Structures are given as structure tokens and as C-alpha cells.
Amino acid sequence: MNAFRRALRFSSLLLVVLLASCSMVSSKKPRVEPAPLVDFKPSLTVRTLWRVDLGRPGTPFLAPIFADGKVYAAGADGKVSAFDAASGQQVWSITVDADIAAGVGADAATVAVASARGTVFAFDAATGKQRWKVKASTEVLSAPAVGSGVVVVRSMDNKIVAYDVETGDRRWVIQRTAPALVLRAAPGIVIADGTAFVALPAGRMLAINTATGVARWDAPIAEPRGATELERVADVSGIPALLGRDICAAAYQGRIACVDAVNGSLRWAREFSADVGPAMDQRYVFAADELGSLAGFSRDTGGSLWRSTTLRGRGLSAPVSFGRAVVVGDKEGYLHFLSREEGAMLARLGVGSQVLAAPIVTGANLVVQTIDGKLIAITTE
């Protein structure tokens, strides 16, 4: 893309704040006319199983999480709730005196969220009782990650901190230099087997020993390129996808890449620009690009298997692999079910309002959180 087209493409980016000598821009997608919904004969039956109200409409960075048979979710007005994943019955609910901006993170024992002012809250997963709260150094947009005895948080000044799950005491801190310009987005964190995998601005992914805070490896997902700071924005988008020894991530104006989760060596990479994270299953990696095309790749080689432009311009969420389908939400309040094998449309379901967060799989069902504060479970027949 030449410099003129890049300038046009970035003209919608909004400079919003200066933070620790780092400027943030919004990740507005280029203006693309939304593709009309095309009629098709459904080959998969989907229906709503249950629906609950989470309170005040959410922010773009609020997403539910599934752990130990329960779905944990938060509304922007401070309400954090646990629901039985099968029935939707509320297990507990608690309201904190803060607007929640990031979350939810959870494992079988602990739930964590962060407020708009950077306060991190931890709760007992069984009862909802608040264990502790601490103040992060700056605003937190990425959901806290919970696991291996710690709650790991990355604040907008690119500081990564681990807190003890029981006490909230700080266990370790890592400070990474942020590039001059970053997206106002939420690069995610995944914890597994004593390692926190942290997506970062400037196209990096960092693996950290959760017990010691020592970096195991630092891998490039994308390399910033271009003559201007705007052209060089290449932040990793959304939550990396981890399965076995593979961890995959996508970057804005960069690449989609999979690396070895143990040593950080590159498995494969392809040119790609995304502002949401990828999905992975036993055979495939799926990703939605910034223009609304959905693509399937071979997990082993990164070879391109299919690419669908049916949903171009519809503001897609991160995808999820679900049974024989790959599922994405859109800005008009629809869930789209496409064939994992070839990208053909299988089913469509309206859920009422925009789906920004990636749908999550809860056993045999799927759960989504909409921008108007609804939590909805979907099942297939």
C-alpha cells in the first residue's frame, strides 16, 4: 500500500491521550460499506438457550469467561456475576463501587476485573466475596489473567504486574518500553502451565515465568514498518490462541503468526492485519482481518485454506471454533456460523446488539456478551 493510501486509511484514527510519553490512537477500521446479508439455506440449527441482563451497557473491552462449569461476566456499572453455564441460573452477584473497564479473568478459584481508573479487584469464584483490590499504575484495558497462583495485569504504560491471588501482594513487575504510538486496544494475556503469555504493542509477545517474573522468551509477531509513527503501529490484537505447544497471535498492520509456546521459535507467519485475536482448534487457525474478511489457515503449516468476504465491512469480533463451525459476531447484532472446512455459511442468529468480544465455548454451548449488556447462551441442534 502506498503512502497516500496509508494516510487515507489512518485518517480516521483519533489521538486521545498522552501517557508516559506514549500516544494512543483508536483502532477504528477503514470505512468499508457493510456487505448485505445474503440469503442461504441453513444447514445447522441454532437457537438461544438462555439470556440474562448484566446491567449498564458494556465497553468494548468487557468479555465473559468460562471456568469450572460457570460463566463469569461483568457490566460496566460495577456488577460482577457468576452463572451456571448450562442453565443460566445466577450463582452469585456482587457490585463494586467503580466502573468496570476490563475483564473478566478467572480460574476455578478466583475472578478478577479492573476498573476504568485502574483498580484491580479479585473475588472468590465460589462465593463472589471480594478478596482484595489494588491500584495499577495506569488505566487497564486488557482483562486480568488468572492462573498459577497469580493475577497478571498489563496497564497502558506497558507495565506487567503479577499479584498473589489470595492476598493481592505484588509478586513481580516487568516494565517494557512502549512505542511512541499504540492502539487504544486490549492485547490479551493467557496463563498456562506456569507461564503467562502477554501480547504487547509493537508486535511482540512475551512469555513470563509466573513464579519468578523472569522472561522465558520474547517473540516478534510482526515487525513495525513505514516512514511515520502511524504507519509503524503494529500492535498485537486481542487474546492469543493457545493449544498444546502452539500459541498464535495476529497484529494490526502486521502478520498472523504461530510460535512454539515452550521456546518462542517461529512456526509460521503470514501477512495479515487484524484488530481482533485469532482462534485455533486441532487442525485450523482462524482470523478476521480489519476489513471483515474471515480466513482459515492450516495449523501445521500456515497454508491458506479459505477466505470469505461475505461479512466484509460488518465489524467482526474475534472468531471461535465451535463444533463443525467457526463463529463470529458482528456490529449489527448477528452471530454467523461458517464451515470450518471451507468457509461456507451454515447458520445465522440475531442476538439484538453488537458483539465485540469473542464468543466463548462452554462445553456443548456458546456464550456471547453484547454491547448492550446482555449475556446470551446459544446451542445447536
CATH value at residue 306: 2.130.10.10
What DSSP character marks residue 260?
A: E
Residue 277 burial class via C-beta count within 10 angstroms: exposed 0-12, middle 13-18, buried 19 and up:
buried
Amino acid letter at 288? A
Which residues pair with residue 368 across a beta bridge?
376
363: left (phi over 0), alpha (psi -120 to 50) or beta: left
pLDDT of residue 31: 67
Joined together, the cell numbers standing for residue 4 give 497516500
Q: How far is CA 302 from CA 135, 198, 280, 289, 357, in A?
A: 41, 22, 12, 16, 25
Distance of CA 86 to the CA centre of its chain: 23
Are the CB atoms for 143 and 103 separated by under 8 Å?
A: yes
pLDDT at position 5 is: 41
For residue 363, give the DSSP letter: T
Instruction: Tell me the DSSP string of 105-156.
Output: EE-SSEEEEEETTSEEEEEETTT--EEEEEE-SS---SPPEEETTEEEEE-T
Kind plus residue range of the DSSP H or E element containing 295: strand 294-298
**Which residue range(s) make up the domain with 181?**
3-380
Q: Which residues of the chain have pLDDT under 50?
A: 1-21
Hey, what's the cell of 197? 503469555
Q: Which three cell numbers, joined as nine digits, stand for 243?
A: 493449544
Whole-angstrom CA distances from 329 to 189, 212, 242 are 21, 38, 21
Q: How crowded is the C-beta side of 40, counted as CA atoms within 13 Å?
A: 16
- Distance between CA 270 and CA 29 in Å, rounded? 20
- Report the domain count for the chain: 1
Give the pTM.
0.91
Using one digit for the tens of pLDDT, what is the confidence trace for 31-82? 688 999 999 999 999 999 999 999 877 677 899 999 999 999 999 999 999 9
Nearest CA-CA partner of 178 in 136, 224, 217, 242: 224
